[in-house]
Amino acid sequence: MRKLNWLAVFAIVLTTVAFAGPEVSVLDGTSWKVDVKPDSMTQDKGEKDFNATLTFADGKLTVSDPKVGSGASPYSVERAGEKDFTFKSDRATAGEGTSVWTGTVHGKSLEGKLIWTKNDGAVFTYTVKGNKLD
């Protein structure tokens, strides 16, 4: 019986470590001030540049601009070289469709893309560039 209890505890700890993943913790606790610029086709649809703050905490990404959804969404991270990391977060926006944030972090800079698909099927693509907030 005692072995079974220890086995259960070990399984819970192992599962927790597997879900948390060491890569997620690389970005957790960081915030990034980013400029979000529409590509030419998105500009033709009337979309404008905007600024946002991306905050990574507890395995989730929060975007400060309510235009592309509020609340936190899970994100994943992969190593992309010795010092670079790529991330991805799929977000559902209240009444505005879905958005996918992807990017590469190199030191204190971040570059990426935002693809926002509205409920009516319209797709808007943006470039994302910014720097880490200290």
> What does the domain layout of the chain look like in residue ranges?
24-132
Q: What is the per-residue pLDDT for 81? A: 84
CATH number of the structural domain 24-132:
2.40.128
Rounded to an integer, the average pLDDT of 28-46 is: 96
Q: What is the per-residue pLDDT for 134? A: 82
Asked if pLDDT for residue 12 goes beyond 50, the answer is: no
Check if the beta carbon of residue 30 is closer than 8 Å to that of residue 57: no
Check if the beta carbon of residue 56 is closer than 8 Å to that of residue 76: no
Note the pTM of the prediction, 2 decimals.
0.79
